[in-house]
Structure 1
Amino acid sequence: MPRQVIVGVDESHESRAAAAWAAREASRRGVPLRVLHVRAWGPPVSSGASQSAARRLARRVLRGAEEHARAACPGVDVVAEQTGGPASRALLCAAEEADALVLGSRGLSALTGFVLGSVGQSVVARAPRPVVLVRVGCGSDDRWPYDTRDAGPSRAVGRDVVLGLDLYDPCDEVIDFAFDAARLRNTGLRVVSAWSGPSAFTLGPGEVGLIDGPRRAEEWRGFQSAVLRTWRDKYPAVAVTGDVVEGRASPSLVRSAAGASLLVVGRRTRQEPCVGTRTGPVTHAVSRHARCPVAVVPHS
């Protein structure tokens, strides 16, 4: 299957920021950028005039997104196309063919445009490949503030990638994506893990929770270091720093990702039929509060 980065776009400013981010990512990976617009979906009885208007809007949206992509990265290979809805199904189908699917996001006010509300949540929760959410004003992976009027250089300088690593369930797909993202950007990787103290319901004989707080933290740091050892060897050029914090993971990740080039978190895939929009509490929280692009990586 040909490798590519795909960005879903509409007429919003968020989509333009996503297109610029996606162009840089495609350039870093050495793959084409596919710009995709999903036309408004309606019943088959929709009038010919309505369908014609939708196609005109799609062409205008695609032109604008392609212009922003080329401004951000003039050398990128861009392919623009439109397709019919429903939007969630079209985006999920596209994601199957992507290194990453990129979408514009408004953070606290939910995903925008054709990925508004439940549609956007469904895409993030069900996509078979990583989904990156990009916000206006925070979509750069450079050292400078970014908006769609200032494309900046194509490589990050001095802004780390942040990985939210679940030490209770470390996953190769998530870790590999984060290390590779740092390698592609020629920057460091900061790994953040959270742990919780024991309770009457979770404490068992011989567990780390039997020791005092400082020693428990040291044990968790040892766990994190052991998990990362193989990946340090695989990516020797990536400078890695680790941080283990007590308490809830999402606030720590949001703080750690302030000024980061990318925040990487995981989403467990499920074996039941593809219904619902659950992404997990940590992924749900950071996708709305983080002030940098957020990559949600599915894993088994």
Structure 2
Amino acid sequence: MLAPVIVGVDGSAESLAAAEWAAGEAGRRGRALRLVHVRNWTPRSAEGERTGAVQRHLGRQVLRRAEERVREACPGVRIHDEQQEGPATQALLRAAEQADVLVLGSRGLSGLTGFLVGSVALGVVARATRPVVLVRAPAETPDEHPPARDGNDPAPTAHGDVVLGIDLDEACDEVIEFAFEAAGLRGARLRVVHAWQTPSPLSLGPGEIGLIDETRRAEEWQGFLSAVLQVWRDKYPEIEVTETVAEGRAQSVLVRAATGASLLVVGHRLAERPLGPRTGPVTHAAIRHVGCPVAVVPHD
């Protein structure tokens, strides 16, 4: 049986938007949709049991509202729902192991409403071994300001494009393939973006690309990007692909490039870090500032 698209719902506007997006994705992928609500409850006493009954009732209401939203938007999708006991991060990570894609609501890092934002969403993204998509509610929060645009940043992408942020130092098949498949499912153009920065003299090794002038350096990066993508162009000849290399901080370049996109795809390395699993700076910036859904694809 095909793994379902799973979405976490908590009754917030963001999780309802995530449920609707997940339903559309389930339809595109030909998969069932599973709605999951997590209760942070541990039975300790008779009073705890009564509290648990109330939470189960509230959970059923949350799931019912999400199902109504989904059926209105995508009446043909197959829906299952379930409640799980928390903590939320661990429950959602368990759900992710059974998912084709896990979808969560997000308000970036400026809002704390609902369990699907803030530390929980970041904890799931940092540890999940399956792709996680973060979806915002349509209205943007007023206190968020994207990074200032660098002079060499690419112009905002056309509406509906899938944008792939690629690090050519560690271009990963899992991330690239997810982006090509996402573009194919949507009949959309795929825009691949790589950001590079002029290295300092102290960071250069013998024969490195930084020894040439800026124009030549940009051309070298462009050629490298084209070479990396050629095998994927051959595999997905029906997909229109554009390639952009831009000088600047990857965070700024990618956030600006994703303006107006239908989906941004970034990778996340699962390697252990000294302070434990966490998101990298590019993923962190995308979650905080990008308005379109952000797919975080794990890789080794």
What TM-score do you get using the length of structure 2 for normalisation?
0.90
Q: CA deviation at 1:40?
A: 2.4
Structure 1: distance between partners of 2:266 and 2:113: 21
Structure 2: distance between partners of 1:231 and 1:111: 39
**Could you say which residue in structure 2 is the equivalent of 1:289?**
289
**Could you say which residue in structure 2 is the equivalent of 1:162?**
163
Structure 1 residues 158 and 115 mapped into 2: Cα distance closer, same or farther (>3 Å)? Answer: closer
Q: Which runs of 4+ in 1 moved over 6 A?
A: none
- Tell me the alpha carbon deviations over residues 166-199 of structure 1, each in whole angstroms, 9 at most, x when there is no partner: 0111000000000000000001000000111121
Structure 1 residues 112 and 181 mapped into 2: Cα distance closer, same or farther (>3 Å)? Answer: farther
- Tell me the alpha carbon deviations over residues 189-246 of structure 1, each in whole angstroms, 9 at most, x when there is no partner: 0000011112122212211111100110000000000000000011111100000011
**Could you say which residue in structure 2 is the equivalent of 1:255?**
256
The runs of 5 or more residues in structure 1 that have no matched partner are 140-156
Structure 2: distance between partners of 1:119 and 1:136: 17
Contact 2:41 2:52 in 1 (8 A): no
Q: Secondary structure at the match of 1:241?
A: strand
Structure 1 residues 31 and 60 mapped into 2: Cα distance closer, same or farther (>3 Å)? Answer: same
Pairing 1:68-217 to 2, within 5 Å after superposition: 68-110=69-111, 112-137=113-138, 159-217=160-218
User: Quick one: percent identity of the two aligned structures?
Assistant: 63
Contact 1:194 1:249 in 2 (8 A): yes
Structure 2: distance between partners of 1:7 and 1:289: 22
> Over the residues paired in the alignment, what is the CA RMSD in angstroms?
1.9
Structure 2: distance between partners of 1:269 and 1:138: 32
Structure 1 residues 110 and 163 mapped into 2: Cα distance closer, same or farther (>3 Å)? Answer: farther
Contact 1:106 1:135 in 2 (8 A): yes
Structure 2: distance between partners of 1:293 and 1:111: 18
Q: Secondary structure at the match of 2:34?
A: strand
Q: How many residues align?
A: 282
Structure 1: distance between partners of 2:84 and 2:257: 38
Structure 2: distance between partners of 1:158 and 1:133: 18
Structure 2: distance between partners of 1:266 and 1:258: 18
Report the more deviating stretch, 237-246 or 158-167. Answer: 158-167
Contact 1:104 1:111 in 2 (8 A): no
What TM-score do you get using the length of structure 1 for normalisation?
0.90
- Tell me the alpha carbon deviations over residues 5-49 of structure 1, each in whole angstroms, 9 at most, x when there is no partner: 000000101110000000000000000000000012235335222
Contact 2:267 2:298 in 1 (8 A): yes
Contact 1:6 1:36 in 2 (8 A): yes
Amino acid in structure 2 at the alignment position of 1:76: V
**Could you say which residue in structure 2 is the equivalent of 1:11?**
11
Structure 1 residues 119 and 44 mapped into 2: Cα distance closer, same or farther (>3 Å)? Answer: farther
Q: Secondary structure at the match of 1:267?
A: strand
Amino acid in structure 2 at the alignment position of 1:21: W
Amino acid in structure 2 at the alignment position of 1:84: E
